[in-house]
Chain A
Amino acid sequence: QSVLTQPPSGSGAPGQRVTISCTGSNSNIGAGSDVHWYYQLPGKAPKLLIFRNNIRPSGVPDRFSGSKSGTSASLAITGLQADDEADYYCQSYDSSLSGWVFGGGTKLTVL
């Protein structure tokens, strides 16, 4: 059971908009800890997609955006493309655990 809860799967057709949620608690997201997002292709290392809730690293297209409110955060992907099919993970800091935690991941399928 992950400290941050994500839906295990999501899907959308090419061109559509999809969102992935990340629900935490008052010891992590709700305590003001930033939320970061990673994507991972099979057999590869995770790669940073969004940091500090809504900032895209250089090279990440503006089709990807992040938001945070209360004890939850969301990743939105617009103009869905076939190569967006991957696993997506949120990450934050938990003050009760004194460590960094990941969500269980969402497997995104492009129909």
Chain B
Amino acid sequence: EVQLLESGGDLVQPGGSLRLSCVASGFTFSDVAMSWVRQAPGRGPEWVLSLSGNSVDTWYADSVRGRFTISRDNFKNTLYLQMHSLRAEDTATYFCAKMRGHPPSSYHMDAWGKGTTVTVSS
């Protein structure tokens, strides 16, 4: 069974930094692309970043480009999201998601973690 478990969410001040982690199990982690998707309270999901299985290809949403970085450790089956210069509008639940399909036009998220909450506020 595929399992994704996020951690690291916290209350952080504007301008601050935070690192999220996602531990994966139940599939060959290094074979698949992974994504971070966030959802602000009362809003729909918003794709944020994706990273290929071998870390060669990275895709960024414009809203986080230059501030957020995605990385992975395939030995630890762990995906990371490093966030800098956090803004109030980054407040959301952040989900780790497993990607499936042929990139990019067929990519979809076939498994999701339960999410971790990031609140940016003074």
Contacts and interface: CB of A to CB of B under 8 A. Distances in A.
Interface in B89-113: 95, 100-101, 104-113
B1 interface: no
Interface stretch (B18-26, B42-50, B77-85): B42-50
A52 B106 CA distance: 7
A100 B44 contact: no
A52 B102 CA distance: 10
A47 interface: yes
Contacts of A31: 105
Contacts, number: 72
Contacts of A103: 44
B47 A45 contact: no
Contact of B101 (A34, A38, A95): A34
A98 B50 CA distance: 11
Interface of B: 35, 37, 44-47, 50, 59-62, 95, 100-101, 104-115
13 contacts: A34-B106, A34-B108, A46-B112, A51-B110, A52-B108, A87-B44, A89-B44, A91-B45, A91-B109, A98-B104, A99-B61, A100-B104, A103-B44
